[in-house]
Structure 1
Amino acid sequence: MTADVPPPSLAHGSAQPPSRVHDVALLDLDGVLYVGPDAVPGAAAALEQARGAGMRLGFVTNNAARTPQEVAAHLSELGMAADPDDVITSSQAAATVVVDLVGRGAGVLPVGGPGVASALTEAGLRVVHRAEDDPVAVVQGYGRDVGWTQLAEAVVAVRGGARHVATNTDATIPSPRGVLPGNGALVGVVAAVTGQQPLVAGKPAPAMHRECVRRTGAQRPVVVGDRLDTDVEGGRRVGVPTLLVLSGVTTPGTLLAAGPEARPDLVAHDVAGLCHAHPAVEPDADGWRCGAWTATVDDDAVLLSAGDGPPADDLADDLDGLRALCVAHWAAHPDESAAATVRAAEGAAPAVAEALARWGLDGS
């Protein structure tokens, strides 16, 4: 790292718990609060602790199919108190985008689940169901029952001059059966046939988090998510700090390889990271040190060691080593994404190799 390149933002940490620094947490749902039908262990307690520290919560989802009422009911069933007014969906962001474009009262054709039409109506737009009704826009969001008929209607409307607005372009969605087509796959069908790319409202587009800030009145928000390409990148696009949790899809290897647009400010095992401080990563000789851990870039690899600090039994469970690795690797690649080869430094304590194996960074 050269002297004129500032350290990655992860290096700064947070001397106070984020719940005491930020007034609102903008929380992604799947992978952060629940995975499939089940709550992430400890998530409900962490949210209550954050609330107890004075933090307000906004529940943010790119999934346009469900209404805020349905999302709030689901969270409440999982033990996480939520009011519909606390929920912000990509359908709502898309509706705001359309109102800004054409004004209230305009006719709009919804494609997707009930959440799409509901958001349009809430925003003061007039829902129509056929291309022959001359909609000025088509808003396309995820819906399990979307099929050829709706897609064909959207194509005719867009080819007739309607503006194509996508709630989000996530290509896939997770399911107990594995990866399934997401809204982005079906948006691609309409775009391919019409030859027009849609205006996108959901994460990582700025419209989504601007909608979150508008609805929550946040002054010092923090985005909490498990995805680099939507949550972290979306937060960075609007200048909002981000906390990445490792309870969802992002792995330590993926995090290390992140480009500058997708590097979080903080990282934690799960949403309980809102409730504790995050250590800084400091320059240390030729490397970077976080707690007992030191990471050094050596030719084509990043070497990790652990010295004085926590007992060896605690080292394998701590993320300080991962923080040091990220800062060292990102400082060496400030302007580009790059896969990282990670090894235990020569003579490193056994706990270092155990930690690398735990994080999937040992090549196994």
Structure 2
Amino acid sequence: MVRAYDVALLDLDGVVYTGARAVPYAVDVLTEARRRGMALAYVTNNAARTPEAVAEHLVELGVPAKPEDVVTSAQAAARVVAERVPEGASVLVVGGEGLEVALRERGLRPVRSADDEPAAVVQGYAADVDWRQLAEASYAVMRGVPWVASNADLTIPTERGIAPGNGALVGVVRAATGTEPVVAGKPELPLHRETILRTGAKRPLVVGDRLDTDIEGACNGGVDSLLVLTGVTTPDAALAAAPGQRPTFVAEDLRALLAEPVTARREGDAWVCGGWTVRVADGALTVEGSGERIDGLRAACAAAWSVDSTGSTGSAVDTSGVAAALGW
């Protein structure tokens, strides 16, 4: 893939690292991909941390990264705000340092009170966001100023389990004001645009582990995508992917970046990949053959996704037991 695409737009959690550890193969693959001439951009919905902090964490893990390689939803949100307010305007911040730094980069002045007469409100996740900050945002939004959210992720993973994400906190302000924000992060287009502008990518490949953010964002942006199964998405979930959330390529992990692109091919009424053949019959998938399990999944996904709207979407095809039959 390093010959087919000039820039890999990589999600972080579940793709490059999981918490404090690098995902298996990530360090070696990304180092080699860069050596072969592929540019790497690390694209995250996390608006709390600055690009410098993200790059520092990546380097600690052994991943090649500089601050300018990191693109955050805070940067995308700041650009959206800058396009809507006068230069040097005050902007009410609900969130962390990442948002403040991104706003200053755009020549805007972060403030923390609606009494500072902000020209806009920008909201992102931070662990210390409290009732007071949400109330300040509500006061300002009720006055009619633009409201931009870094992302709308309802939950975030933590070491102790699933916790409320920025989308849940945005919901508090929405409930108080009856207003909808402009969302900058995946799967919406502003973060994709920010990434293309900062990297100058001509043939980008989005690499992610989530269908509803990474892959849907790639579909919205009209670019190819690679789904890796090292994070949130399971083989069963990939088989049931909805239109608009279907990747160009599916792989077990980042090693696919160093290989030639592989997809299933259609042969008559069947989809074939490697030693596997998959058909749709009576609303269910039938699997024959043997070989690498990822090739079987590629053929099964292609078959499930091929069902058109008259037969309903791929999610209506009975895929039960298919992943297990392939060895997952």
Shorter-normalised TM range = over 0.9
User: Which among 336, 353, 358 is matched to residue 313 of structure 2?
Assistant: 336
Deviation by residue 1:50-74 (Cα, 9 ceiling, x = unmatched)? 1121100001000100000100000
Q: Is the 8 A contact 2:206 2:215 kept in 1?
A: yes
- Verify: 1:319 aligned to 2:319, yes or no: no
- Verify: 1:144 aligned to 2:127, yes or no: yes
- Verify: 1:170 aligned to 2:139, yes or no: no
Separation in 2, partners of 1:103, 1:320: 53
- Verify: 1:73 aligned to 2:56, yes or no: yes
User: Which among 143, 159, 164 is matched to residue 181 of structure 1?
Assistant: 164
Deviation by residue 1:62-116 (Cα, 9 ceiling, x = unmatched)? 0100000100000011100211011000000000001111242111011111111
Deviation at 1:339, TM superposition (A): 4.3
SS at match of 2:48: coil
- 1:236 matched residue in structure 2: 219
SS at match of 2:232: coil
Separation in 2, partners of 1:130, 1:338: 46
Deviation at 1:337, TM superposition (A): 4.8
Q: Is the 8 A contact 1:107 1:128 kept in 2?
A: yes
User: Which among 231, 234, 241 is matched to residue 258 of structure 1?
Assistant: 241
- 1:49 matched residue in structure 2: 32
Deviation by residue 1:215-250 (Cα, 9 ceiling, x = unmatched)? 011111110000011101101111111011000000
Deviation at 1:354, TM superposition (A): 8.7
Separation in 2, partners of 1:251, 1:343: 13
- 2:229 matched residue in structure 1: 246
Q: Is the 8 A contact 1:303 1:343 kept in 2?
A: no
Separation in 2, partners of 1:157, 1:320: 53
CA pair 267-354 structure 1, distance change in 2 beyond 3 A: closer
Q: Is the 8 A contact 2:249 2:262 kept in 1?
A: no
TM-score scaled by length of structure 1: 0.86
Separation in 1, partners of 2:323, 2:148: 48
SS at match of 1:224: strand
- Verify: 1:116 aligned to 2:99, yes or no: yes
Moved over 6 A (4+): none
Deviation by residue 1:260-291 (Cα, 9 ceiling, x = unmatched)? 10000011111221111133322223211112
CA pair 129-200 structure 1, distance change in 2 beyond 3 A: same
Q: Is the 8 A contact 1:288 1:328 kept in 2?
A: yes
Separation in 2, partners of 1:146, 1:280: 44
1:8-27 alignment runs, 5 A limit? 18-27=1-10
- Verify: 1:196 aligned to 2:196, yes or no: no
- Verify: 1:284 aligned to 2:267, yes or no: yes
TM-score scaled by length of structure 2: 0.95
Cα RMSD for the two superposed structures: 1.6
* AA matched with 1:336: T
Structure 2 unaligned regions, length at least 5: none
Deviation by residue 1:118-138 (Cα, 9 ceiling, x = unmatched)? 111111111122101111111
Separation in 2, partners of 1:224, 1:200: 21
Deviation at 1:357, TM superposition (A): 6.2
Structure 1 unaligned regions, length at least 5: 1-17, 307-311, 345-352, 360-364
- 2:196 matched residue in structure 1: 213
Q: Is the 8 A contact 1:253 1:340 kept in 2?
A: no
Q: Is the 8 A contact 2:118 2:140 kept in 1?
A: yes
* AA matched with 2:128: D
SS at match of 2:315: coil
Deviation at 1:342, TM superposition (A): 3.4
Separation in 1, partners of 2:27, 2:89: 41
Deviation at 1:327, TM superposition (A): 0.7
Separation in 1, partners of 2:180, 2:89: 21
Deviation at 1:49, TM superposition (A): 1.3
- 2:327 matched residue in structure 1: 358
Deviation at 1:145, TM superposition (A): 0.4
Q: Is the 8 A contact 2:152 2:183 kept in 1?
A: yes
User: Which among 135, 138, 141 is matched to residue 158 of structure 1?
Assistant: 141
CA pair 343-30 structure 1, distance change in 2 beyond 3 A: closer
- 2:18 matched residue in structure 1: 35
Relative contact order, higher structure (CA 8 A, sep 6+): 1
SS at match of 1:101: coil
Deviation by residue 1:316-339 (Cα, 9 ceiling, x = unmatched)? x43110011011111114573514
SS at match of 2:180: coil
User: Which among 72, 75, 89 is matched to residue 72 of structure 2?
Assistant: 89
Separation in 2, partners of 1:102, 1:32: 36
- 1:15 matched residue in structure 2: none
Find the structure with the greater CA-based Rg: 1
* AA matched with 1:153: E
Aligned length: 326
